[in-house]
Amino acid sequence: MKYFIVDVFTEKLFRGNPAGVCLLEDWLPDETMQNIAMENNLSETAFLVKRSSHYDLRWFTPEIEIDLCGHATMGSAYVLFRFVEKTAGALSFQTQSGELTVERKGDMLLMNFPARPAVPVQRLKSIGDSLRVEEFESFKSADLLVVLDTEDTVMRMDPEYEAMKRVKEEAGMLDDSFGVIITAPGSDCDFVSRYFAPNAGVNEDPVTGRAHCVLIPYWSKRLGKTVMNARQLSKRGGSIYCEDAGDRVIIGGRAALYLTGEINDEGFGKL
């Protein structure tokens, strides 16, 4: 099986968010794909199957399958543009979150994703406990959005992940694929963020496309802008182009190829 690792939302290796990309001829059993993602031990591994006019796409963390992933979608598009669909200008993916498209403009990849506007909710004690903060605003979508006062507060945040796992019950989240987004105005960009998903087996995701489905509608309304630039302040860090397109968002970035290889599938039948 052809396998790639792509560093996404960056132009440099060892920055951004590494995504695993597996090109399949047909679907493997779910258990096998979950085991591959566990073995890869990246925040997400993408699996793709080519159809006549699009690709079917699924994403797995080391612990669960999730319904939407940005960086592994961009990583998948990067691999296809470079090695498979060399003359294509855009690609279409069918996913649990509907059709997603990725367009290339020079060395930029622009993803068209569903907007996920968040609505205000009361302050959750479990959020305050896990982030060790008292002053914040809370919003709820497919993920939870926590708005803080300064970039420095976001940068210095050191969550208590076991406490964060208890957010699920208090917030009434339906499954473990949700994450907690923290955000604040940026000093040299429009806004900054970090993303935590301990219930999905990813304590901190380095740079998160799906989080910007929530962040872009929030900051577009707050700043009165439709085009913005953002940074995610994980240790690896990454830069994100953001555009509010109504019920859709455009999430853009660059990528760098780290690895091409083969996964030995000879023993899959013995699992």
Q: What are 206-215's pLDDT values in tens digits?
A: 999 999 999 9
Question: What DSSP designation does 23 have?
Answer: E
- Can 44 be counted among the known catalytic residues? yes
Could you tell me which residues are beta bridge partners of residue 104? 109
140/47 same-domain check: no
What CATH number has the domain bearing residue 243?
Answer: 3.10.310.10
123/244 same-domain check: yes
Give the confidence band of 79 by pLDDT, cuts at 50, 70, 90: very high
57/102 same-domain check: yes
How crowded is residue 52: how many other Cβ atoms within 10 Å of its Cβ?
A: 4
211/148 same-domain check: yes
66/173 same-domain check: no
How many secondary structure helices (H) and strands (E) does the chain include? 7, 18
The answer, yes or no, to whether residue 269 has pLDDT greater than 70, is no
135/78 same-domain check: no
Which of 47, 86, 45, 8 has the alpha carbon at shortest distance from 252?
8
- Which of 34-38, 131-135, 253-257, 267-271 comes out lowest in average pLDDT? 267-271
89/189 same-domain check: no
In the predicted model, what is the mean pLDDT of the chain? 97
How long a stretch of residues is the chain?
A: 271
| Percent residues over pLDDT 90 in the chain | 97
Residue 150: strand, helix, or coil: coil
97/131 same-domain check: no
14/95 same-domain check: yes
User: Does the predicted model carry a pTM greater than 0.85?
Assistant: yes
* pLDDT of res. 9: 98
Domain hosting residue 200, numbered range = 119-248
Can you read off the two tokens belonging to residue 213? 């489905």
232/259 same-domain check: no
Report, as an integer, the average pLDDT of 16-44: 98
236/135 same-domain check: yes
How many domains does the chain divide into? 2
* Distance separating alpha carbons of residues 244 and 246, to the nearest angstrom: 6
* pLDDT of res. 265: 85
Residues 11, 44, 63, 204: which is the catalytic one? 44
Can you read off the two tokens belonging to residue 212? 């910007």
63/89 same-domain check: yes
User: Is residue 109 within 8 Å of 78, Cβ to Cβ?
Assistant: yes
Angle 162-167-173 from CA coordinates, rounded to 5°: 130
Which of 75, 19, 73 has the alpha carbon at shortest distance from 44?
19
Give the confidence band of 266 by pLDDT, cuts at 50, 70, 90: confident
pLDDT digits (tens, 9 = 90+) for 164-179: 999 999 999 999 999 9
